[in-house]
Amino acid sequence: MLDEAIDDWGTARLTLNRPERHNAFNAELIAALDDAFTRLGGASEVRAIVLAGAGKSFSAGADLDWMRAAAGWSEAQNQADAMGLSNMLAAINHCPKPVIVVAHVHVTGGGVGLVACADMAVAIEGVQFRLSEVRLGLTPATISPFVLAKIGSAARRWFLTAEAFDAQDAAAMGLINEVAIDADAAHAVVAHWLAHIGEAAPGAVADAKRLALDFAGAEITDDLREETARRIAARRVSAEGREGINAFLNKGKPGWIAE
């Protein structure tokens, strides 16, 4: 359902593995993703997490059998179930490790939510994205905080029409960062990002991600400026900060860069 492998450098590779269901979500897959990102996010040996999908789709969103069952539940039961999905997306979005997504062929509904929660995403040419919920009499409510944080007002069109959009559209609105012509090219993009992440201090990367999450779109107030000054001061006196500056001044390599 969710395959996991960690290489010697510290890249954790997660693969959605329900190809017969186009990697659609059910309660078990949601729980597995939540557990994996929570656990790997706290693992010192992990430097980055790459999420991809097996088979013909990245993710078709919610499993139809799961949704059919949910239609018979009470509103309170449905809210509790939706919070499970929301908690999983939050685990990805707030994961302190860099999260990279490789999207291919079909990315529908909640699958778009997964992409929106990534720090970096590459889509393979020919991919089709769709926020399809209104066609089913539903709305993309649970994924909306994460999707809106990525694409902003562009969501007003895609939420309402449920029309398909391609990799170029997704890149233009900021949902993805790169378009690759095929799987090999996508892997090269991922390798490029991982190489640059490998040059950076792991703790600093986690703190830099927190900056982006905490302050994007925030009003520049005196309190905000004081908080950002506090954060850089803490970094300067941290073990990583001292090691990095010392290595730079002495033309050496800090310990987080592999030999």
- The tens digit of pLDDT for each residue in 98-117 reads 999 999 999 999 999 999 99
Enter the tokens of residue 170: 């997704």
Query: Rounded to whole angstroms, how far apart are CA atoms 128 and 85?
Result: 22
> What single string gives the DSSP state of each residue in 17-70?
--GGGTT-B-HHHHHHHHHHHHHHHT-TT--EEEEEE-TT-SB-SB-HHHHHHH
Instruction: Please say if the pLDDT value at position 149 is more than 80.
Output: yes
Between 35-44, 75-84, 107-116, the lowest mean confidence (pLDDT) is in: 75-84
- The string over 23-60, giving b where at least 16 C-beta atoms fall within 10 Å of a residue's C-beta and e elsewhere, is bbbbeebbebbbebbbebbeeeebbbbbbbbebebbbb
pLDDT of residue 69: 83
pLDDT at site 68 = 81
Residue of 125, 126, 142, 122 lying closest to 25 (CA atoms)? 142
pLDDT at 259 over 80: no
Name the token pair of 5: 């492998």
Going from N- to C-terminal start, the domains of the chain cover: 2-197, 201-249
Compute the average pLDDT of residues 48-65. Answer: 94
Q: What is the pLDDT of residue 65?
A: 84
Query: Average pLDDT over the chain, rounded to whole?
Result: 96
What pTM did the predictor assign?
A: 0.96
238-252 burial, b at 16+ Cβ within 10 Å, e below that, comes to eebbebbeeeeeeee
pLDDT of residue 232: 97
CATH topology of domain 2-197: 2-enoyl-CoA Hydratase; Chain A, domain 1 (3.90.226)
Confirm if 212 and 221 have CB atoms less than 8 A apart: no
Mean pLDDT along residues 175-193: 98
Which residues lie below 8 Å from residue 220, measured CB to CB, with a gap of 6+? none
pLDDT > 70 fraction of the chain, expressed in percent and rounded: 100
pLDDT computed for residue 174 by the predictor: 98
